[in-house]
Amino acid sequence: MTQKESGETMEKTAGGQERRAGAGAGGSGNTLQVVEFLLGREHFAIDLFDVKEVVEYTTITKLPNTPSFIKGIIDLRGEITTIIDLKERMNIAEASTQPEESCRIIVLDEKNTKSKIGIMVDDVLSVSTFDIKDVDTKSAAEVGEDNWILGIIKKKAKEKEKEVNELIIWIDIKQLLKDIDQHI
């Protein structure tokens, strides 16, 4: 971590980018607020303030001649919103056992995207707050070239009267979707 002149603490993400420590969704500096969701059986999270809302699945109109991760478009209260299949975008090959109609759509905040974008996920679990010390950013840096993985969150959970750490992959949705606009 480094200190900026303004006194705010900065940390390097796995991709080498700088971000305010505890910057996830206006935390107190020592906390991170995220939206937790499922893709297949794996747990993922994105910063709470990258999210505008979560909506139920609605009929998606397919767009011709687009990459396979672009599911299509929906009419969300009169606004055309592009829907991205996050499993396809992240190359998660595990086929879902649930029908597409039971998926959820996380609509992203337009301040972070150049157009209206929603990401399709298998399920949205919760909005959670974690202590920044429960986030391992070093392991994420070792994963590979995927600079959209910010860290691994260790969530304490009880499993049959025993406390275990559930691992949640914290992703930078802006980095993951930065080239989407050239495909739409």
Say how many domains are in the chain. 1
Secondary structure of residue 36 in the 3-state scheme: strand
| Radius of gyration of the CA atoms of the chain, in A | 17
Order of all β-strands in the sheet with 117-121: 51-56, 104-108, 117-121, 79-85, 70-76
CA-wise closest residue to 18 among 36, 3, 5: 3
Tokens at 39, concatenated: 């893709």
Dist. CA 35–CA 52, nearest whole Å: 11
Decide: pTM greater than 0.75: yes
Mean pLDDT, 10 residues at a time, over the chain (184 residues)?
37 42 54 94 94 94 92 94 93 75 92 88 94 84 70 84 86 87 62
Dist. CA 88–CA 108, nearest whole Å: 18
Domain that holds residue 117: 2-182
Identity of the residue numbered 84: I
User: Model confidence over 131-177: pLDDT tens digits?
Assistant: 999 999 887 666 556 688 999 999 887 777 888 888 999 999 998 88
Q: What CATH number should be reported for the domain holding residue 113?
A: 2.40.50.180
Q: What angle do CA 94, 100, 101 make, to 5 degrees?
A: 155
